[in-house]
Amino acid sequence: MTDVQTKAAIGPLDVTRVMAALPHRYPMLLVDRVEKLVPDQSIVAIKAATINEGFFQGHFPGRPIMPGVLIVEALAQAAGVLAVESLGLAGTGKLVYFMSIDGVKFRKPVEPGVLLRLEVSFVQKRARVCKFAGRALIEGELAAECEFTAMIADPPAA
């Protein structure tokens, strides 16, 4: 394959394909769809924030807002799909673990009923450690941004 072919965008990917790349399941699966994935470069994914999600019931009663840590987790899961697809790890059982989170900024609350657009790109990619830059947007407006590092590893022994 030529370099141009390996970098061709793929998508959209439905939740079944997302679950093939990630070990997460309900209620912790926070990526509903991948709109576009360019291997070795970037991903655009969607999280549909619905009122039925448990965290909205208690965060906060009368003013439901998606917790910031879950926004960052959604970005990390999108990065996990990007890493697994880019490194050809689907079906290997490898996991993508957080190592660090830097420069997190929250700009706009994520409320029920929005489609949260997750944009993540590689900053640095190695065989075992990758660095990413991520942004979460609502209708084109920045809701959150951060950089984070993840390690690709075998799952813990049972």
Name the active-site residue from 24, 36, 59, 94: 59
Contacts of 75 (CB under 8 A, 6+ apart): 118, 120, 132, 134, 135, 136, 144, 146, 148
Q: Which of 143, 119, 132 is nearest to 65 (CA)?
A: 143
* 42-49 vs 114-125, strand pairing mode: antiparallel
79 sits in which H/E element: helix 68-86
Residue 59 a catalytic site member:
yes
Q: What is the DSSP letter of 18?
A: H
- Side-chain half-sphere exposure of 46, counting CA atoms within 13 A: 17
DSSP, collapsed to helix, strand or coil, labels residue 103 as: strand
**Catalytic residue IDs:** 59
